[in-house]
Amino acid sequence: MRYVGKNIILKDGTKCFLRSPDEQDAATMLEYMKMTSTETHYMVRYPEEIELTDAKEAEFLKNYIESKQDIIIVAFVEYDVYWSCVLHLWSLFSCEKL
């Protein structure tokens, strides 16, 4: 699923744009993943364990865009990734069926 986008202003006045990353954002998303993996030892992986190529990350992002149940939303400040969130909506649909 694709979140088309929305401009927001952060509390400190910084302009931020929320949107789903696309295939052209693969290198930026990998850089963000490696950076956040260095910030704490409680992440799922260490930076040196990230072996994805830009092409594989682009394919991963494309699959999310084409998905009908999953979505990635990223906050971009200028051209840098500031925050990201992955939602798996299948869990919401399965709860409604109960």
Cα dist from 69 to 72, 80, 94, whole Å: 11, 26, 11
Cβ 81 vs Cβ 28: under 8 Å: yes
14 belongs to a structural domain = yes
As given in the structure block, the two tokens for residue 59 are 């394919």
Q: How many domains does one find in the chain?
A: 1
38 belongs to a structural domain = yes
27 belongs to a structural domain = yes
Q: What is the pTM of this model?
A: 0.81
64 belongs to a structural domain = yes
> Residue 13 maps to which CATH number?
3.40.630.30
52 belongs to a structural domain = yes
pLDDT tens-digit map of 63-80: 999 998 899 999 999 889
pLDDT tens-digit map of 22-66: 999 999 999 999 998 888 777 788 888 899 999 999 999 999 999
As given in the structure block, the two tokens for residue 84 are 């990201």
1 belongs to a structural domain = no
71 belongs to a structural domain = yes
Cα dist from 21 to 15, 24, 29, 33, 36, whole Å: 17, 8, 8, 13, 17
21 belongs to a structural domain = yes
For residue 11, what are the domain limits? 6-97
